[in-house]
Amino acid sequence: MDLYVAALGFALVSASVIAIAAVGFTMQFGITNLINLAYGVVMITSAYVAYALNQLGVTIWAGLAAGAVCGAVLSYLLNRFLYAPFQRKGTSHIGMVIISLAASLMLTNVVLAIVGPTSVSYTQDPGPTIRIGAMVLTTVQVLIIGIAVLLMLVIHALLTLTRLGKAMRATAANPSLARSCGIPTGRVIDGVWLVTGALCGLAGTVAAMNSDSFAVSNGAGYLITILAAAVLGGAGQPYGAMLGAVLIGVMTELSAAAISPEYKEVVAFGVLVLVMVLRPQGLLAKVGALAPAG
């Protein structure tokens, strides 16, 4: 029993990391209508930027901010100079997916050429161990959970209380109408890429902080989990992504405790497939949708 309680604790940490990333990913899709397959590599690139600073003696918490900035800038540039021109030309959805796949491969190889295949670790003090029953977490892990909760609240506030958030929702619902109403949708889209890119960069850095060792090859793995969480919760639904992250995190950790760990992803994705069969629109599609997706 203790093992399962401990696994639940680790699941909370995993879910926190996935949630930060998945919310950014699903917002990108929800507002820009683009499945950005370069998301995972932007995460790992941000993690390496934080690592570079960390190696210069900068604390990893400052590196976290640098990771967010890197994610924001890189995502903004990707959209401005790659995705947006193709979207303006009316490239099909599948065409955009392929373009983002190409961007992912190119960026991966650029990063690989710079940092090499060796895995690296942050210099960080995990802090005192915190024990809650059978749950054993480091201070850093508890802080990661705290960061995730804080970011979810900030995203909620952004979408519901700010003009930018409302403009984002309006743009997501109907960009033509939003433009007619005087909303500068171009700048809103830029804002979306900056905000979601920052989430992406933060997610990459906290994922690397949590995993003790990371390499360029981790980027693709991140993306698969994020996509699963986003689809499970309902594509384009930030709250759905949060729920999806928790479910994916819990399922992977509990299945690692219950059966052979090599099947933990199989179990998680098996549940994903089941949900897709029974509820293709995702768990929260109708609850939070502006348009009737489900």
Partner 1 sequence: MGRRNNVNGLAANARPGLARLGAIALAAIVLLAACSGATSTPSAAPSAAAASAAAPTATAATPLVVGVLAPFTGPDAALGPAYFAACLPAVREINAAGGVMGHQLTCKQFDTRGDPADAVPAARQMVASTPNLMMVIGCTSDEASSVAPVLEQNHIVSFCMTGQSEFNKSSFHYFHRLVPPDEYDAYAMVGSALDFNHYQRVALVFGNDIGSQAFVAPATRALTKLGATVVINQAIALGQPSYRTEVTKMLAAKPDVIFTEALGPTDATYLAEVKQLNGSMIPVIGTSATIDPVWFKAVSAAIGLPDLLKYFQAVDVSTTFSGPGYDAFKAALLASAADFADAPKYAQRGATLHLYDGVVMTALAMDTAKSTDPAVYNPVINKIGNGVTGATVVNTYKQGVDALKAGGSVRFSGAAGLTQFNEWNNSQGGYILVKYDDKGGEVTIGQLTQDQTNQIIQAGGS
Q: Which is nearer to partner 1, 59 or 121 (CB)?
A: 121
How big is the site for partner 1, counted in residues (CB under 8 A)? 99
Touching partner 1, residues 123-162 (CB under 8 A) = 126, 129, 136, 138, 156, 159-160
Neighbours of 274 (CB within 10 A): 10
Candidate ranges 64-72, 78-86, 146-154, 236-244; the one touching partner 1 (CB under 8 A): 236-244
205: helix, strand or coil: helix
Candidate ranges 62-70, 80-88, 146-154, 166-174; the one touching partner 1 (CB under 8 A): 166-174
Touching partner 1, residues 19-58 (CB under 8 A) = 26-27, 29-33, 35, 37, 40
Touching partner 1, residues 74-103 (CB under 8 A) = 93-94, 97-98, 100-101
State the burial class of residue 227 (Cβ atoms within 10 Å of its Cβ: 0-12, 13-18, 19+): buried
| Per-residue CA distances from 218 to 91, 120, 141, 221 (Å) | 30, 12, 19, 5
Q: Which is nearer to partner 1, 65 or 293 (CB)?
A: 293
The tokens of 69 are what?
């900035």
The tokens of 6 are what?
């401990």
Touching partner 1, residues 258-287 (CB under 8 A) = 260-262, 264-265, 276, 280-282, 284-287
| Per-residue CA distances from 17 to 44, 211, 216 (Å) | 13, 11, 17
Q: Does 194 bind partner 1 (CB under 8 A)?
A: no
Indicate the DSSP class of residue 125. Answer: -
Phi/psi at 174 (nearest 5 deg)? -165, 95
Minimum CB separation of residue 77 from partner 1 in Å reads 20
Q: Which is nearer to partner 1, 69 or 165 (CB)?
A: 165
The residue from 61, 124, 169, 190 that contacts partner 1 (CB under 8 A) is 169
- C-alpha distance across the termini of the chain, in Å: 39
